[in-house]
Chain A
Amino acid sequence: MNYLKRSMLYLTHKKGQSLLLLLIMSAILVFVLSGIIIQNAAVSATNSVTKSAGTTISVSANRNKMFSKMRSSSSKSKTKTITTPTVSNTKIKEAGSLSTVAYYNITNTASVNASSFDTVSTSTGSQGGGMMKGGSGASTGNITIDGVSSTKLTSSFISKEDKIVSGRNITSSDANTKNVVIEKELASSNSIKVGDTITVKMTTSGKKKIKLKVVGIYKAKSTSSSGMPGSDPSNTIYTSYTLPATITGTEGKSSTVTYTLSNSAKEKVTTKKIKSIINSSSFSVSSNDESYQQLLQPMKNVQSFAKKIVWLVAIAGTIILGLIIILSVRTRQREIGVLVSLGESKLRIIGQLFSELFVILIGAMVIALLLGNFVGNKVGNQLLAQQETTSVSSTSGANGGPGGGGGAPGSSQNGGMRGGAMTSQTTTSAANKKALKTLNTSISPSSVIKLGGMGLVIIALAVCVAAISILRLRPKDILIGE
Chain B
Amino acid sequence: MLTVKNLTHWYGQADKPLYENVDLSFDSDKVYTIVGASGSGKTTFLSFIAGLDKPQKGDIFLDGKNIKKIGATNYRKHKVAIVFQQYNLLTYMSALDNILTALSVTDSGHKGEKQYVLDSLKSVGIEEADAKKNVQKLSGGQQQRVAIIRAMLVDANIVIADEPTGNLDGENSAMIIKLFQDLAHEHHKTVIIVTHDPKIADQGDVKISLEDREFVVA
Contacts and interface: CB of A to CB of B under 8 A. Distances in A.
Given A343-B78, A345-B73, A1 B100 contact: yes
The 8 closest A-B pairs by CB, nearest first: A343-B77, A13-B92, A1-B104, A343-B76, A475-B52, A476-B53, A476-B47, A341-B82
B89 interface: yes
A340 B47 CA distance: 12
Interface in B70-91: 72-78, 82, 84, 87-91
Contact of A341 (B50, B100, B104): B50
B168 interface: no
Dominant SS among interface residues on chain A:
helix
A342 B93 CA distance: 16
Nearest to A6: B101
Given A1-B101, A9-B92, A480-B43, A342 B53 contact: no
Contacts of B8: none
A343 B87 contact: no
20 contacts: A1-B104, A6-B90, A6-B93, A9-B93, A13-B91, A13-B93, A13-B134, A14-B92, A335-B91, A338-B87, A338-B88, A338-B89, A338-B90, A341-B50, A342-B77, A343-B74, A343-B76, A343-B77, A343-B78, A343-B105
Nearest to A338: B90
Interface residues of B, number: 31
Interface in A219-240: none
A161 interface: no
Given A9-B97, A341-B50, A334 B76 contact: no
B50 A342 contact: no
Contacts of B73: 343, 345
A479 B80 CA distance: 15
B33 to A, nearest CB: 20
A337 interface: yes
Contact of A339 (B74, B78, B90, B112): B90
B102 interface: yes
A334 B87 contact: yes
A444 interface: no
A72 to B, nearest CB: 97
Interface in B29-71: 43, 47, 50, 52-53
B165 interface: no
Interface in A315-348: 334-335, 337-345
A402 to B, nearest CB: 75
Interface string A1-40: 1100010011001100000000000000000000000000
B92 A10 contact: yes
A10 B74 CA distance: 25
A341 B101 CA distance: 13
Interface of A: 1-2, 6, 9-10, 13-14, 334-335, 337-345, 474-476, 479-480
Contacts of B101: 1, 6, 342
Contacts of A343: 73-78, 105-106
Contacts of B92: 9-10, 13-14, 335
Nearest to B87: A334
A338 B87 CA distance: 8
Contacts of A6: 90, 93, 101
Contacts of A9: 92-93, 97
A345 B75 CA distance: 12
B76 A341 contact: yes
B121 interface: no
Most buried by B among A2, A6, A10, A338: A338
B15 to A, nearest CB: 23
Contacts of A10: 92
A342 B89 CA distance: 11
B194 interface: no
Given A342-B76, A475-B52, 13 more contacts: A9-B97, A10-B92, A338-B88, A338-B90, A340-B76, A342-B102, A342-B105, A342-B106, A343-B74, A343-B77, A345-B73, A475-B72, A479-B47
A76 B126 CA distance: 123
B115 to A, nearest CB: 15
B158 interface: no
Contacts of A345: 73
Nearest to A9: B93
B53 to A, nearest CB: 4
B103 interface: yes
A299 to B, nearest CB: 50
A261 B77 CA distance: 74
A341 B52 contact: yes
Most buried by B among A10, A340, A345, A476: A476
B187 to A, nearest CB: 18
Most buried by A among B74, B89, B90: B90
B142 to A, nearest CB: 17
Most buried by B among A1, A9, A13, A14: A1
Contacts of A476: 47, 52-53
Contacts of A475: 47, 52-53, 72, 76
A340 B78 CA distance: 12
A476 B43 CA distance: 9
A338 B101 CA distance: 11
Contact of B104 (A2, A13, A334, A479): A2
Nearest to B71: A343
Contacts of A344: 77, 105
A337 B134 CA distance: 19
A317 B82 CA distance: 39
Contacts of B43: 480
Interface in B168-182: none
A342 B108 CA distance: 11
